[in-house]
Structures are given as structure tokens and as C-alpha cells.
Structure 1
Amino acid sequence: MKDINIEQFIATSDFKLKNVSTKIALGADEDKLEDELKKLSKKLGEWQDVLYAHSKYAVLICLQGMDTAGKDSLIREVFNQFNTRGVVVHSFKVPTNLELKHDFLWRHYIALPARGKFGIFNRTHYENVLVTRVHPEYVLGENLPNVNSLEDIDENFWDSRFEQIRNFEDHLSKNGTIIFKFFLNISKEEQRQRLLRRLNRSDKNWKFSPGDLKERQLWDDYMDCYEEAIQRTSTPNAPWYVIPSDNKDAARYIVAKVLWEELSKYTDVQEPELEAKILENLEDYKKQLQHPDA
């Protein structure tokens, strides 16, 4: 199986979507990729147990991608070795009335993982510079001061929103949250094939909406918005990883490998030592518990 350097997937400020492929050859078949993913998932699950005991960091994983990019199945397969107490998944839909009464980051802030836990955002705060940029009329529903018409949603507005997102992530990072952002990069043709498969499967076609086809017509607009969002918000403390995702098995493996290699660098994440008094009496406690009536 081909060894990969995870740094090749990190987006820089000059990132261009046209220069990255949606496909990657790893020199492994589906069974091999699944086996390697299981090994990484097990390691990540064990590391999360230690993280929970250490309780000084949280891990936030942000997943973005066009419809059918494979976010749901990636979550299921990559994190299936985790203790359920240690990972919380949030899937952000259209903002509710309550959420619209707050700033656009509020609903994401209250869903952040506590220290010792993994939080997964299935769609993220980036919807606010992606969907809303393709459909700026949605911003009017936020009832913002000084935004009374589409003319008010200009480049200065988006510059400010990008700055707010960078500040948000910088604040999280400085307070112990390890941030990963993954863009699952699929081709338009692959999306067409996946939508067709979705329609042809009775257990999957409930996911289909005619709106999917309308959004598909705006593919180029979305790609432009993704490119700029990634360019402007990929930072050392919150990098974007652009994952070739036409092959779901390969994408899952790469995401797991990125997580494992980066999290392994946090060598200070260790199980806490027993208090001296408990350690001193450890053998006595064992003897007490050896009696059936203990």
C-alpha cells in the first residue's frame, strides 16, 4: 500500500481547487483500505480514552463537502471504535427561529466539545460563507443591523465574516481545542453517479430532494466559494485538509491517518497519575477486594 504524506492535503493561501484531484491511487483494494482504517480507528479510540482522562484538550472535527460527498458514512466508519461517551456529532441544518435570534456562530459555539471529548460538525459554521454566499438572500433572514437589502451584503460584509470565523477558531485553539477541517472533494460526475444510486435504492432515496438538482446547477458557484473560504481560513492552528473523495474508502482512510498522525504529536496527553496516598495503599485495596463479601 502506498505511503502518503498528510501534508500534501493541507491547503495554503494560494490553494486552487483546479490544481487538486478528486481521485487518489493508494495501491490498495477495498478490503485492504478497510483493514487499515480499522487499525487507525482502534488507535484513535484508545487515544480518546486517554484524552478523556487527561481532560485538558478537546478535539473539533469539521466536515464540509457537496451533497453526497460522504460525510455521514465517514463519521460512521472512522469513529466506530470510539466510546460513545467520548464523541458527539452535530449535524447543522437550516437555522431555527431561535438560532436566527443569535449571531451566526452561536449555535456552533454551544455545540463545541468539552475538554476530553471529540466533537464532529457535519456541516459547519462555514455554511455561513458558502450557502449564504451562493444565496445571499438567506442573510436577510438573520435580521442583522445595517443589512436591509442584498446591496448591503457586499465584499466588506464577507471580509468581516471571514475575520470573525478566523477569530473564533483562534480563540478555540488558544483555549485547548484541537481543530481539524476537512473538505471532502468530489467531482461533479461522481456526485451525479451517487445521486443516481441514491434514487435507485429504496433504503436511500428518502435522502433525495428535488432541491439537490437545483443546487447542482450552481456547482461552479459553490466551488468558487469553497476555494475562497479555504484560502482565507486555512491557518496553522486550524488548517484545511482537502481530501480526494471520489473513492469513499480512500477518503476515510486519509482522514483517519491525518487525525492519528497529528494527534500523536500531543505527547503531553497522558493518563493522570494516581494520588500518592492511593498509590501507597494500592496493594491493600486489592486485598480488600479479593474477599467475596467486600
Structure 2
Amino acid sequence: MSGLKKQLTADSKFNMEHYPTDISKSIAPEEAKKELKRIRKELAQLQDVMYAHNRYSVLICLQGMDTAGKDSLIREVFEKFNARGVVVSSFKTPSNKELQHDYLWRHVIALPEKGKFGVFNRTHYENVLVTRVHPKYLLNENMPEIKKTEDLPKDFWEKRYKQINNFEEHISANGTIIFKFYLHLSKGEQKKRLLRRLEKEDHNWKFSPGDLEERELWDKYMESYQEAIQRTSKSNAPWYIIPADNKDISRYLVAKTILDELKNYKDIQYPELAEDIEKHIHTYRKRLESEK
């Protein structure tokens, strides 16, 4: 995985154009689908150990353009998980209540507890992506001294990147293992998937005219993603760039990255039995077996 990890991981020099959206010539989709079945069983077993260990939590952040496959990826990768150990949070337009707090508040309260996995379907990065493309949305936050977009200070976005980095550094230092995945979808593949939503009746509900309006801003979104990833891919919370034109491959890469990285935490094990319980475990077993 070390070679693959190097290929997927972004750094401060990240350039969107240098990362492919389709690697089906290198990894066969059929093989990726087969491997995913094996990996998710291992992930489920590891989840059980982590739940018992109760020292770490895992935060998985999924970002990508519309139709990148976030929902189906969550369903497929975490299929074997015990429901008690994984919580999925989807962040859409902030509610009135959420807007009465700072922009990170709704993400903080959704963080996973120790021993659990949390999946953010769209994440705190919406605050430097969607709002970067649509600055007028920031006015809903009622920030001091900002009544119109022209009031935003020149270093506004740099400060937000720093705040997000500080947030992630804080939770990482306190036992949260962070994975950030950008599902790298091509504009051509998005077009195919949007057309599929229109052509298949059981997919019509997924389509929104707003999808086309956002698609027209594709280049602005790519610029915003590139800068956000450059500014926030850190050793404690790296960005992984996942080719997303083929869903079987993207699911496999996300699952394999999570499993391989978590295996590096050698201290994650089932807790040892208390000495008094271990000493009398055979007595307890005999007592139960002798019941009539």
C-alpha cells in the first residue's frame, strides 16, 4: 500500500490535473469489487476491536462534486459494520439553529465517540468550498462587521484554512484518527451520471435543476478544491485523492486506505480481562453450564 498511498496522498503542491479520475487500466473493476468484499469483513472485525478498545475514534470525511458516489460508497464500504459503531452525518444547507453558532459547531457535535467511526458525507470543508464559490452564503452566518461580501477581509480564507487545521490538529491529538477523501470525478463522467438520473425513473428523484447550475461553475469548484487541499493536507489529517470515474475502484481504494492505515495502530487490541475475572473464568463457565 505504501506505493499506492504515495500516489493518492496530496500535499501543499497538489495539482488537480496531475491526478487521474480513472485508473481502470491499472486496477480491474471486477478485481476491485472482489477485494472490497474481503476488506470490508476485515474492517468490520477491526471495528469490533476498536469499540472494545475504546481509545480512538475514526473520522472519515468524504468530499466530491455531485454524483461522485459518496452515498453508495458509504453503503458499500460500511455494509458489514455493526450499527452501534458507525454514525453517518450528512451536512446540507445549515439550519437556522446551526447558523446561530460558529461554522464548525455542527461538525463538532457530530464527531464520533471513542471506539466509534463517524462518516461525514460532505464536511466542514463546505465552508471553504461552496461558500468560496458562492460568497453571498457567508452573509447568513451573521459574522461581526460583515454585512456584504465586500466586507470580507483579504485574509478571510487563509484564516479559515488555519482554523480548520487547528480543529483537526486538536481532535487528532485527542485520539481521533482522520481520513479525508476527495472523490475525483471527471466532468464527462458527471454528465453521464446526471443523464442517467433523468433517464431512469427510479433515479429521477435524485435530480435537481440546481445540479446543472452548479455544473456551470465546475472550474471555480476545481480551483476551490485545489487550494483547500493544498492548505489543509497535513500529516495528522492527509487528503487522499480517489479516482472516482469507476465506483467499484473508488470504493475499494477508500476501504483499503482505511484498513491499511488503521493496521499501523498496533496498540488497538481487545482489552485484557480484569485479573479477578480471568482467575475465576472457568468457575463462571461451570456455573453457567451446570444450570438446569
TM-score for both structures, normalised by structure 2: 0.97
Paired residue type of 2:173: K
Secondary structure, counterpart of 2:182 in structure 1: strand
Stretch moving more, 228-237 or 152-161:
152-161
Counterpart position of 2:105:
106
Cα distance in structure 2, aligned partners of 1:24 and 1:4: 15
Deviation at 1:278, TM superposition (A): 0.5
Aligned ranges 1:181-192 → 2 under 5 Å:
181-192=180-191
8 Å CA contact 2:47, 2:116 repeated in 1 = yes
Paired residue type of 1:108: H
Cα distance in structure 1, aligned partners of 2:3 and 2:205: 37
CA offsets, 1:34-82, max 9 Å, x none? Answer: 2200111010110010000000000000000000000000000011011
Paired residue type of 1:101: Q
Cα distance in structure 2, aligned partners of 1:252 and 1:74: 6
CA offsets, 1:195-216, max 9 Å, x none? Answer: 0011111111101100000000
Aligned ranges 1:6-17 → 2 under 5 Å:
6-17=5-16
8 Å CA contact 2:51, 2:116 repeated in 1 = yes
Deviation at 1:192, TM superposition (A): 0.2
Cα distance in structure 2, aligned partners of 1:122 and 1:153: 28
Deviation at 1:13, TM superposition (A): 0.2
In the superposition, relative to structure 1, how do residues 154 and 201 fare at CA in structure 2: closer, same or farther (>3 Å)?
Answer: farther
Q: % of aligned pairs identical?
A: 59
8 Å CA contact 1:136, 1:153 repeated in 2 = no
In the superposition, relative to structure 1, how do residues 82 and 64 fare at CA in structure 2: closer, same or farther (>3 Å)?
Answer: same
8 Å CA contact 1:26, 1:250 repeated in 2 = no
Cα distance in structure 1, aligned partners of 2:74 and 2:200: 21
8 Å CA contact 2:40, 2:78 repeated in 1 = yes
Counterpart position of 1:146:
145
8 Å CA contact 1:12, 1:234 repeated in 2 = yes
Cα distance in structure 2, aligned partners of 1:29 and 1:128: 36
Counterpart position of 1:224:
223
Secondary structure, counterpart of 2:141 in structure 1: coil
Deviation at 1:30, TM superposition (A): 3.7
Secondary structure, counterpart of 2:84 in structure 1: helix
Secondary structure, counterpart of 2:137 in structure 1: helix
Counterpart position of 2:266:
267
Aligned ranges 1:27-38 → 2 under 5 Å:
27=26, 29-38=28-37
Aligned ranges 1:110-149 → 2 under 5 Å:
110-149=109-148
Cα distance in structure 1, aligned partners of 2:38 and 2:69: 20
Counterpart position of 1:71:
70
8 Å CA contact 1:113, 1:119 repeated in 2 = yes
Deviation at 1:153, TM superposition (A): 2.1
Please give the root-mean-square deviation of Cα atoms over the aligned residues, in Å. Answer: 1.4
8 Å CA contact 1:57, 1:176 repeated in 2 = yes
8 Å CA contact 1:173, 1:237 repeated in 2 = yes
Counterpart position of 2:208:
209
Runs of 4+ that moved beyond 6 A: none
Secondary structure, counterpart of 1:203 in structure 2: helix
8 Å CA contact 2:69, 2:247 repeated in 1 = yes
Cα distance in structure 2, aligned partners of 1:26 and 1:285: 57
Unmatched 5+ stretches in structure 1 = none
CA offsets, 1:242-274, max 9 Å, x none? Answer: 001101100011111110110000000010000
Cα distance in structure 2, aligned partners of 1:106 and 1:133: 19
Secondary structure, counterpart of 1:255 in structure 2: helix
Cα distance in structure 2, aligned partners of 1:268 and 1:26: 37
Counterpart position of 2:234:
235
Paired residue type of 2:263: S
Instruction: Give the total of aligned pairs.
Output: 292
Paired residue type of 1:55: N
Cα distance in structure 1, aligned partners of 2:239 and 2:105: 22
Unmatched 5+ stretches in structure 2 = none
